[in-house]
Amino acid sequence: MDGQLKKLRLAVLISGGGTNLQSLIDRSLAGELHADIVAVVSDRPDAYGLKRAEQAGIPRHVVDYRQHRDASPETIFKEDPGWDLETLDASQRILKEPERRKRLLSLSRLVAAEKQILHILREYHPDYVCLAGYMRLVSPYFIHSLNREGSHRILNIHPALLPAFPGRHGYEDTFAYGCRWGGVTVHFVDEGEDSGPILAQGVYPIWPGDDLEKIRRRGLRIEYEVYAQCINWLAAGFIQMVCEENGRCLAFIRDPEYAKILKSWVKLAFSP
């Protein structure tokens, strides 16, 4: 908790337009983000975020999960005996298929794609991997290949106030439920779906007459601020992790400017 800034190396995983990626790029170039984006990986070859990376001179890669449909549970770890698919299945909380064989098949295909991603990431030595509109679940294999000695190295931005509305449709679910406040959450990634330790949350009001696109635009402004700030907190050593005996971990922000920063997010949420 020394507050001494370290410039982080970030790899960003995307699936679509990459507006969060663009926000991080812009802030890094402006000196407002204490990090360099060293690589961008997409699961979709047509993701516009790849164009954003190209324009910024950032190395970009595509890992198409469809190319790994032939992966099988029997061969996935043939050359990597340190891992066991059954053990991974016992620890994962993302695949709900009740039939074991089908679930292991899905898990093996997921791991096959993740192996390719990890091979790419090793070339760039990122301090953290940031999921930014990445529409793929990640397995315990991916998580534990990056996390070391109790560290958390994978970040995600989620467009809802977790633990409410996990999954792909945070804005849609918030709006459909009739919430009067929406929000965004930055959290570390664990073996569940949007269930990892929460670093920070920002809120915005939902006014009578708002539609889905209005709250999405309002929420995105908060997303950009909260994600960048969490990265800066990590760079400054202001995030303290405390893990309990039951394995549950909590994140605490030790920034003396914490209250001032939260107030700025609320002010932004109410701005036109």
| CATH number of the domain enclosing 79 | 3.40.50.170
Instruction: State whether residue 18 is helix, strand or coil.
Output: coil
Written as six digits, the tokens of 213 are 């696109």
Full domain range(s) for residue 134: 8-270
Q: Does 245 reside within a domain?
A: yes
Total domains, the chain? 1
Residue 1: is its pLDDT beyond 60? no
Q: Does 18 reside within a domain?
A: yes
Calculate ∠ Cα 66-188-83, nearest 5°: 55
pTM over 0.85: yes
Q: Does 2 reside within a domain?
A: no
User: pLDDT tens digits for 90-132?
Assistant: 999 999 999 999 999 999 999 999 999 999 999 999 999 999 9
Q: Does 3 reside within a domain?
A: no
Q: What is the pLDDT of residue 85?
A: 95
Q: What is the pLDDT of residue 2?
A: 56
Active site residue: 34, 61, 68, 158, which one?
158
Give the distance from CA 192 to its chain's centroid.
13
Going 95 to 71 to 189 to 31, the CA torsion angle's sign is negative
Q: Over the Cα atoms of the chain, what is R_g? A: 19
- 144 catalytic per annotation: no
Q: Does 111 reside within a domain?
A: yes
Q: Does 216 reside within a domain?
A: yes
Residue 82: is its pLDDT beyond 50? yes
Residue 3: is its pLDDT beyond 70? no
- The DSSP letter of residue 44 is -
**Whole-angstrom distance, CA of residue 40 vs CA of residue 215:** 28
Q: What is the pLDDT of residue 80?
A: 84
Residue 196: is its pLDDT beyond 70? yes
Q: Does 1 reside within a domain?
A: no
Q: What is the pLDDT of residue 79?
A: 83
**Choice between 79 and 187, residue whose per-residue pLDDT is larger:** 187
Q: Count Cβ atoms below 10 Å from residue 206 Cβ, excluding itself.
A: 18
Q: Count Cβ atoms below 10 Å from residue 75 Cβ, excluding itself.
A: 11
User: pLDDT tens digits for 121-151?
Assistant: 999 999 999 999 999 999 999 999 999 777 9
Q: 6: pLDDT confidence band, cut at 50, 70 and 90?
A: confident
Q: 200: pLDDT confidence band, cut at 50, 70 and 90?
A: very high
